[in-house]
Amino acid sequence: MVLRRIVFISIGILVIWLLAPVKRWQWHVAERFDSFDCSDQEVCRFRRHYRYLQKTNLDDERPLEIVMNSLGFRGREHPVERSHPSVVRVQLFGDSNVFGIGAPAGDSLAENLERILQERLPGGKVEVFNFGLPGNYTLSNFKTYARYGRRYGPDVVIFGQPRTLPWDMNYRVLQIKASPFLTSMLAHPLGRWLINYYQVEVFKLLSFFRFSPEGDAGLRAGARQLLADQRKNGTSIWFFNFYEETFPPWAPRHDIKDVLPEGLKWGMMGSGLSLKAYRRSAYQIPGDGHPNAAGRRLFAQTIADHILPELLNRKLRPTASRGGRPSSD
């Protein structure tokens, strides 16, 4: 009798877990699948010059249109070579908080950070690149840096909200693109729901057991590339927490420092807010969770406060090493 009760309770818990709401990621697959360019087989970014209509609960509750650059990322075009050797280049990688869901043109995290650094650095010659993509975690951010960021020879590289799990939006879209069956299912509303449900629940289970075809190998390979660039060019590496995430005692926890190679010099910074405090704060868009205008300014100021001392004290490298570099280096 007791055993039967335990079995029924266990089945009930499993059913509740499997039926947990997945709507918050549904819009990614249902509305944006066709907007991605996955031609390099590693990073799915937006199509070049794609006009992204942002439908979310914004500060002023109006939809916004964001135009991507020729690489498929948010922000203006940047030449590979610097316009002047004294130009400081900062790159941001991360998820939708870095990309700027809810942020109108001119008010993303990258654009706020650029304004602050221009005001506080002598000469004000600063370029801040936005390589954020909604739903991407650290593994995909490392790949984005290797594929697209490092060719510009950045002085400072910042990875937002480091998460070591591989099952992010980049992985999801690549999985669909590689399957004619899954791709065909997107033509039907029920198919889109099933794909979303299947991916979220399977990845939830795999994440619990920390199973991944790529495992930590991809993270370690990306970190070794950062180490090589740091040794060659003095690249400064930072990780930034918008908020401190909490996990239940039974959940697997993997810290980013566990995959970083010996010898890599890096820093960790954050707002100091817990996830609970952030959600109750005046820094997020109500009912949405992304930073509002005040939150973007707060996070940009926090980042600037951490990297400015290094930028102010840094001796300029020789002109030859401060231009952009081919991505094949």
Q: Does any domain span residue 287?
A: yes
Q: Does any domain span residue 129?
A: yes
In Å, what is the CA distance from 247 to each residue of 18, 254, 256, 274? 19, 11, 15, 12
Q: Does any domain span residue 258?
A: yes
CATH of the domain at 252: 3.40.50.1110
Q: What is the pLDDT of residue 305?
A: 96
Q: Does any domain span residue 327?
A: no
Q: Does any domain span residue 226?
A: yes
Q: Does any domain span residue 126?
A: yes
Q: What is the pLDDT of residue 61?
A: 56
Q: What is the pLDDT of residue 212?
A: 64
- Mean pLDDT split into 10-residue runs, the chain, 329 residues: 64 52 45 78 90 62 80 95 92 95 91 96 91 93 97 97 85 86 82 77 68 77 96 96 76 78 96 92 88 96 95 58 47
Structural domain boundaries enclosing 296: 26-314
Q: What is the pLDDT of residue 148?
A: 97
Q: What is the pLDDT of residue 27?
A: 43
Q: Does any domain span residue 87?
A: yes
Residue 80 and residue 289: Cα distance in Å, rounded? 34
How many domains does the chain divide into?
A: 1
How do residues 40-49 score in pLDDT, each as one tens digit? 889 999 998 8
Q: Does any domain span residue 45?
A: yes
Q: What is the pLDDT of residue 216?
A: 83
